[in-house]
A = this chain, B = another copy of it.
Amino acid sequence: MADPSTAPPLTRVSVQAAHKLIEPYIHKTPVLTNATLNRLASTPRTEAELAGSEWAGRTPAKPVLRFWFKCENFQKIGAFKARGAFHAIERLKQEPGWAEGGGRERGVITHSSGNHAQALSLASRSSSIPCTIVMPTISSPAKIAATRSYGSEIIFSGPTSAEREAVTSSVIAQTGARLVPPYDHSDIILGQGTAALELQSQVPPTTTLHGIITPCGGGGLLSGTALACEGTGIRVFGAEPSFEGADDGRRGFAAGRRIESVKSLTIADGLRTVLGRIPWEIMYERRLVAGMYSVSEDEIKQAMRLVYERMKVVVEPSAVVGLAVALYNEEFRGMVEREGGVEGWDLGVVFSGGNVSLEMLGGLFA
């Protein structure tokens, strides 16, 4: 993670530069289409389906949708997080004085038990930079083992963010390791934006994307996507779980100010985080995200089932929240109907990751 004072401007050109830097390290993930999901999304929901929801009694929307799924579940470490982590490491290697001052030996550090931990572990190992991960003691053995397999040192902390940050600070004080936060930093955001940049070049030349929707947790992926689309005419949307207030981004947009804490145990475990400060500036203050939408836990599970059974690809719950919005959120669907008319919309949908254990799947669907 380079010194923020040397950060590139938060623009589409910087996302393009980030892509050049990380291209040798990441997968250019495929973009899939699926006729069945297009048909389902382009079929109005029934009044019976809307009966129990906040849209009860409304006339169901009639959008026409063609999906372009950007499959970051096939990315290295199984999630888009590899993009931001490789970018942070490459930028760090370019920072004047960092290597000469012994930065390489002091290494990098982050606190995470999820995909960012594995991403940073892989990226730092690829450049032979030592890496420390601070993880809550309650992390699953599978995640601990996966992170350890990349050669990172793991230090355990208590489960609250205050406890994690205290342990992290004390390690930094001892070792001088550089902190690479999971989303609230421009190098990370620019790296995550490269997925949407690739997607733009992967649709056929005759197709114009009208929008891209991504999941939103800390906001790194969504704000990076917004930068990657700035000036292109592609509208960017964020998707969140509504469970226990995990839709802090949507609520913040409605209130006109960033929500600063969230405590949700949504099944979309990658999206339990509160939206970061820099993502908020990009998304809300610069007006680069056109709207935030949320879905229920059941809708997330239903979208997962469709992706498994119809597309035959493995996704984690967080990954399908954008698809769930397009299938089930009447506010979003009504907007597509109004804006897209009979022609409809070509919608990019980012599948953010595929790291789910078969045991967790079993628990969700048994």
Docked CA distance A361–B308 (Å): 11
B309, A358: Cβ atoms under 8 Å?
yes
- The answer, yes or no, to whether A173 is at the interface (CB within 8 Å) is no
Within A60-112, the residues touching B (CB, 8 Å) are: 73-74, 78
Looking at the assembled complex, report how far the CB atom of A189 sits from the nearest CB atom of chain B, in whole angstroms.
25
Docked CA distance A238–B161 (Å): 53
List of B residues within 8 angstroms of A311 by Cβ: 314
- The answer, yes or no, to whether A298 is at the interface (CB within 8 Å) is no
Chain A interface extent, by class = 20 to 34
* Copies of this subunit: 2
Instruction: Write the chain B residue with the least CB distance to A301.
Output: B358
Partner of A362, one of B309, B312, B362: B362
List of B residues within 8 angstroms of A141 by Cβ: none
Chief secondary structure at chain A's binding surface: helix
- The answer, yes or no, to whether A305 is at the interface (CB within 8 Å) is yes
List of B residues within 8 angstroms of A362 by Cβ: 361-366
Within A292-319, the residues touching B (CB, 8 Å) are: 304-305, 308-309, 311-315
List of B residues within 8 angstroms of A363 by Cβ: 362, 366
Looking at the assembled complex, report how far the CB atom of A90 sits from the nearest CB atom of chain B, in whole angstroms.
22
- The answer, yes or no, to whether A359 is at the interface (CB within 8 Å) is yes
List of B residues within 8 angstroms of A354 by Cβ: 312
Most central of A73, A312, A315 by chain B CB within 10 Å: A312
A to B CB contacts below 8 Å, 14 in the list: A308-B314, A308-B358, A309-B314, A309-B358, A312-B314, A313-B314, A314-B314, A358-B364, A361-B361, A361-B362, A362-B363, A362-B364, A362-B366, A363-B366
A312-B314, A358-B361 are known contacts; what are 6 more A-B pairs with Cβ within 8 Å? A312-B313, A362-B363, A362-B364, A362-B365, A362-B366, A366-B366
